[in-house]
Chains A and B, each alone.
Chain A
Amino acid sequence: MQNTRLVETLVGIFVAAGLAALFMLAMKVSNLNAFSDVEGYEVKAQFENIGGLKVLSAVSIGGVRIGRVSSIDFDQEDYEAVVTMMIDPKYNRLPTDTSASIFTSGLLGEQYIGLEPGGEEAFLKDGDNISLTQSAMVMEQIIGQFLFSKASEGAEAE
């Protein structure tokens, strides 16, 4: 009888350890706990070029992540990309003239939206538009411009 009790206890420990491992994977390793079922308010912004921005990319202000990109669309009338952001409701004091730019973290890192607060008294609400935007910097364009300016400098020197 002692033996079966030991076996049962060990099986119980085994199952508990397996479930604990799964739980640890869920909470510690994956992003289940952070913004997974995003609640918040939506703000839209139009960009000429969004570069490598993706759904779920971070939206940050002063380096602090306050939300995520929830969808990306293309407006066929203005020929611009429309990015919808889901902002955490506790950050509800963003001025209406906040500007949005697309930055790259590090030289080759992921792209994210950086917000820069303005000075208006009124705050952004659900469904509002951010009108001041700055597109992503596309590496190929910058290199192209650089080469072009170098070449024209060379031509002037001659």
Chain B
Amino acid sequence: MNTFQQLGHNALTAFQRLGRAHLFLFAVLAGAPSLLPRLRLLIQQLFSVGVLSLVIIVVAGLFVGMVLGLQGYNTLVDFGAEESLGVMVALSLVRELGPVVAALLFAGRAGSALTAEIGLMKATEQLSGMEMMAVDPLKRVVAPRFVAGVLSMPLLAAIFSAVGVMGGYFVGVGLLGVDEGAFWSQMQSRVDFDEDIMNGVIKSIVFGVVVTWIAVFEGYDAVPTSAGVSRATTRTVVYASLAVLGLDFVLTALMFGEV
């Protein structure tokens, strides 16, 4: 009987957390317009969420693009179709790898930092202190971080894809001797702006919302001890990565699955 009780208790706790997370999201969204007169807060967060993630995104994008160029060339050259290398690199980056890998890196680089920061603020009772001074921590602390994350993600994904295409270009055209004109012209004739690039941007916006939401919620909802904050940080990375990969399948099925 005790096992059943435990099971039910766990399920109810999970549902309660899920509900709290959604109510929290609505509260943050409702607090977002109050950012407008205080843009400085947003810029500060754009710096720590977006600019500081830039290095890892650029380096990762470059290497992912270079590896795609190498592997794609090895496969395509057997069919005498190495001119299609540009198409392959660009489509895989713009549709899938750009948004997904950028979101995974973003969860690891910026999401964990957001959770740890907000969790520590809670553990050291800075959030309660703000409430005592009649400052709403949702508006002052959480909303700028959330909006900054949502704004940064599409930009980071676009940078990732662009740098990756350049990486594929360096390897394909520079090292392996694919014809430069064919590389770009085939890419331009096959990659569609609405169909491929805009869908990639929509994906990255969705990922930005989900990753940042999980990060700020886990921080805000952390058990206010050092162990609790560390658990919350781990949960952010795990949940955000799983959510990104799962949502990617759903979004891909909706956008590209013409079955």
Contact = CB atoms under 8 A, between A and B. Distances in A.
Given A11-B46, A31-B193, A21 B162 contact: yes
Contacts of A132: none
A14 B51 contact: yes
Contacts of A18: 154-156, 158-159
A29 B201 contact: no
Interface string B184-213: 100111111100110001000000000000
B50 interface: yes
Interface stretch (A2-10, A42-50, A76-84): A2-10
Interface residues of B, number: 32
Interface in B42-65: 43-44, 46-47, 50-51, 54
A17 interface: yes
B159 A17 contact: yes
A26 B50 contact: no
A20 B252 CA distance: 25
A38 interface: no
A36 interface: yes
A31 B86 CA distance: 13
Tell me the interface secondary structure of chain B in the complex: helix
B189 A11 contact: no
A58 to B, nearest CB: 8
Contacts of B154: 18, 22
Nearest to A34: B188
A32 B184 CA distance: 13
Interface residues of A, number: 27
B143 interface: no
Nearest to A8: B43
Contacts of B94: 25, 29
B196 A30 contact: yes
A33 B189 CA distance: 10
A114 B201 CA distance: 36
Given A26-B197, A29-B165, A11 B158 contact: no
A102 B159 CA distance: 40
A28 interface: yes
B147 interface: no
A28 B161 CA distance: 12
Nearest to A26: B193
A10 B154 CA distance: 17
Contacts of B40: 4
A30 B50 contact: no
B90 interface: yes
Given A11-B43, A11-B51, 9 more contacts: A14-B47, A17-B155, A18-B154, A18-B156, A18-B159, A22-B158, A22-B197, A25-B158, A30-B196
Interface of B: 40, 43-44, 46-47, 50-51, 54, 79, 90, 94, 152, 154-156, 158-159, 161-163, 165, 184, 187-193, 196-197, 201
7 contacts: A14-B50, A15-B46, A26-B197, A28-B184, A31-B189, A31-B191, A34-B189
Interface of A: 4, 7-8, 10-11, 13-15, 17-22, 24-26, 28-34, 36, 58, 108
- Give 4 closest A-B pairs by Cβ, nearest first: A18-B155, A21-B162, A32-B193, A21-B158
